[in-house]
């Protein structure tokens, strides 16, 4: 098998080798399946007719792809379809090592329909949670408004002889109520904007948020809610998803108690997992009911009022905890004594670093180490910052784009550059060349995902100390940085 054939065989997306003239000289199995074995495209125009017909700004898209193939330059180009139900198209052009005049690998990437459906499902779930939060927050907002209206009235109609100090006290009460309303609205807006999308949730903060949302109903029913969760406990689950789970569980507990009683939220680190329990001292369940609680549409609360149930809350909780977060959910209940729901969730990477003793097995920080990290994903950037701060007591410079990276390189020298292979729209080769033009002695650790530019077109450059595939662990990150630091030398301005 020659190099060309091997390159095509490695591509999981439709791909073809195209000469500068536009002639297709070879195609891979996936492209033959997509285009039809009896009519594979013979030219670049035919290939684009098959996969990019009707895309927005199609003439500009086709011209850019054709120019890249003709000149033998790297290109990554995205085109959206006018129909929301049609597939967008992304084309990668990767020239062969011979440079201009040689064939280029043209890879066609069709955004996965399942990915689009997943985005829509998450948006639907977020809106559903937003509706629940608004319903739970309405009572609390009414209390806040009552406070504001009441103290405003007293301030506008002070009693005879009232001094400035009393009016200032009234103003402080109004300010405190307004700040409370601000927090409520901020929580709602955060969910609406998707700010709970971070894959890490602070368990204590989320538990307090849920308890606050349920405060009005609990007060009306004379039910006490207590929280015993360490402030630093973090789980690897999206915050809005954890909010959704806990809101379901606490509401179930409150409705089971009906009037009076106690709901306890406790969280601990147990055997490397976050163990979170929601317990009530209500009537409990018999064995037959326990056996069916995760069945869709099974509910013990029938009727038309607010106490009625849909039977979808616990199945949704299981789907989120086990299917999405990779944890587990278990229910134990004793008839007449109460119910406990136990969640076991993975630790966040940083929490694992802090609490499991992994630090003792990490590489030592190189002398005088400094890092420039170019990382597009803000969550990965945060992980890099916290990892180096906690393990090596190093504060890295983290930027999201090449222009900021170039400015940082102009300003100072670094031991290592950690470079996201997708940071430069012209591809990793261009990004590495831009780094080398300013700091020729700085080794580069190239990060990539399986389907990124770096994975498809990692160029042979002497500056590349290693390639770090995502997802990577903290020990893998530090080991790659330590090894790279040993290979390079800082170059001053």
pLDDT single digits (tens) 440-483 = 889 999 988 654 444 444 456 677 888 888 778 788 899 999 99
Domain-ending residue, one of 177, 197, 217: 197
Q: Are residues 343 and 240 in the same domain?
A: yes
190: domain CATH number? 1.10.287
Domain-ending residue, one of 168, 197, 226: 197
66: domain CATH number? 3.30.450.20
pLDDT single digits (tens) 188-205 = 666 565 544 557 888 998
Rounded Cα gap, residues 226 and 462, in angstroms: 59
Q: Are residues 227 and 314 in the same domain?
A: yes
Residue with tokens 């430069």: 424
Q: Which domain holds residue 138?
A: 113-197
Among candidate residues 79, 82, 84, 106, the one with its CA nearest the CA of residue 95? 106
Q: Are residues 217 and 301 in the same domain?
A: yes
Q: Are residues 290 and 329 in the same domain?
A: yes
pLDDT single digits (tens) 129-146 = 666 666 656 655 765 776
Evaluate whether residue 493 is within a structural domain.
no
Q: What is the mean pLDDT of residues 318-333?
A: 89
285: domain CATH number? 3.30.565.10
Q: Are residues 306 and 219 in the same domain?
A: yes
pLDDT-derived band at 286 (thresholds 50, 70, 90) equals confident
% the chain with pLDDT above 70: 77
415: domain CATH number? 3.40.50.2300
Q: What is the mean pLDDT of residues 94-113?
A: 75
For 156-207, the DSSP string reads HSPPTT--HHHHHHHHHHHHHHHHHHHHHHHHHHHHHTTGGGSS-EEHHHHH
Rounded Cα gap, residues 444 and 394, in angstroms: 18
Q: Are residues 63 and 123 in the same domain?
A: no
Is the pLDDT at 115 greater than 70? The verdict is no
Q: Are residues 340 and 366 in the same domain?
A: no
Among candidate residues 248, 164, 140, 243, the one with its CA nearest the CA of residue 201? 243
Q: Count the domains in the chain.
A: 4
Contact 197, 240 (CB under 8 A): yes
Three-state SS at 103: coil
Q: Count of alpha carbons within 13 Å of 320, Cβ hemisphere only? A: 26
Taking each helix axis from N to C end, the angle separating 203-213 and 113-156, rounded to the nearest 10 degrees, works out to 60
Is the pLDDT at 370 greater than 90? The verdict is yes
Q: What is the pLDDT of residue 143?
A: 59
Q: Are residues 193 and 228 in the same domain?
A: no
Q: Are residues 224 and 275 in the same domain?
A: yes
* 240-249: b (≥16 Cβ within 10 Å) or e: bbbbbbbbbb
Contact 55, 80 (CB under 8 A): yes
Q: Are residues 227 and 350 in the same domain?
A: yes
Evaluate whether residue 492 is within a structural domain.
no
10-14, 72-76, 88-92, 452-456, range with the lowest pLDDT: 452-456
pLDDT single digits (tens) 59-74 = 999 999 999 999 988 8
Q: Are residues 225 and 343 in the same domain?
A: yes
């Amino acid at each position: 098998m020659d190099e060309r054939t091997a390159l095509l065989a490695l591509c999981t997306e439709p791909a073809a080798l195209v000469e500068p003239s536009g002639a297709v000289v070879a195609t891979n199995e996936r492209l033959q399946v997509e285009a039809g074995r009896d009519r594979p495209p013979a030219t670049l125009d035919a290939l684009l007719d098959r996969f990019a017909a009707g895309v927005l700004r199609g003439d500009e898209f086709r011209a850019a792809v054709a120019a890249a193939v003709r000149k033998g330059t790297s290109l990554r180009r995205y085109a959206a379809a006018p129909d929301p139900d049609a597939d967008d198209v992304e084309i990668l052009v990767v020239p062969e090592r011979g440079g201009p005049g040689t064939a280029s690998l043209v890879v066609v990437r069709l955004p996965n329909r399942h990915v689009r459906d997943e985005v829509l499902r998450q948006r639907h779930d977020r809106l559903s949670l937003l509706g629940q939060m608004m319903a739970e927050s309405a009572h609390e907002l009414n209390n806040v408004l009552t406070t504001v209206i009441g103290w405003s009235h007293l301030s506008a109609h002070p009693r005879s002889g009232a001094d400035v100090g009393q009016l200032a006290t009234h103003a402080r009460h109004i300010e405190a109520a307004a700040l409370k309303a601000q927090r409520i609205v901020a929580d709602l807006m955060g969910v609406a904007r998707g700010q709970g999308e971070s894959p890490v949730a602070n368990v204590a903060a989320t538990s307090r948020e849920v308890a606050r949302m349920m405060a009005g109903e609990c007060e009306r029913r004379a039910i006490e809610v207590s929280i015993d969760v360490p402030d630093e406990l973090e789980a690897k689950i999206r915050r809005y998803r954890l909010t959704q789970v806990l809101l379901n569980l606490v509401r179930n507990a409150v409705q089971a108690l009906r009037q009076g009683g106690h709901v306890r939220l406790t969280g601990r680190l147990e055997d490397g997992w976050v163990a979170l329990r929601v317990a009530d001292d209500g009537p409990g369940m018999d064995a037959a009911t326990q056996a069916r609680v995760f069945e869709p549409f099974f509910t013990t609360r029938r009727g038309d009022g607010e106490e009625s149930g849909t039977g979808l809350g616990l199945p949704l909780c299981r789907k989120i905890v086990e299917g999405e977060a990779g944890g587990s959910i278990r229910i134990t209940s004793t008839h007449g004594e109460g119910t406990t729901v136990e969640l076991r969730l993975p630790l966040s990477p940083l929490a694992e670093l802090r609490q499991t003793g992994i630090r003792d097995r990490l590489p030592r920080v190189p002398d005088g180490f400094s890092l420039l990290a170019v990382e597009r994903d803000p969550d990965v950037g945060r992980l890099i910052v916290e990892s180096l701060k906690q393990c090596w007591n190093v504060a890295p410079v983290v930027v999201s784009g090449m222009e900021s990276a170039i400015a940082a390189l102009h300003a100072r020298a670094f031991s290592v550059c950690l470079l996201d292979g997708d940071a430069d729209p012209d591809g990793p080769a261009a990004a590495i060349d831009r780094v080398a033009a300013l700091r020729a002695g700085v080794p580069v650790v190239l990060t990539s995902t399986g389907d990124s530019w770096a994975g498809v077109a990692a160029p042979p450059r002497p500056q590349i100390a290693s390639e770090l595939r995502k997802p990577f662990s903290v020990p893998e990150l530090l080991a790659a940085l330590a090894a790279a630091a040993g290979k390079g030398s800082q170059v001053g301005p």
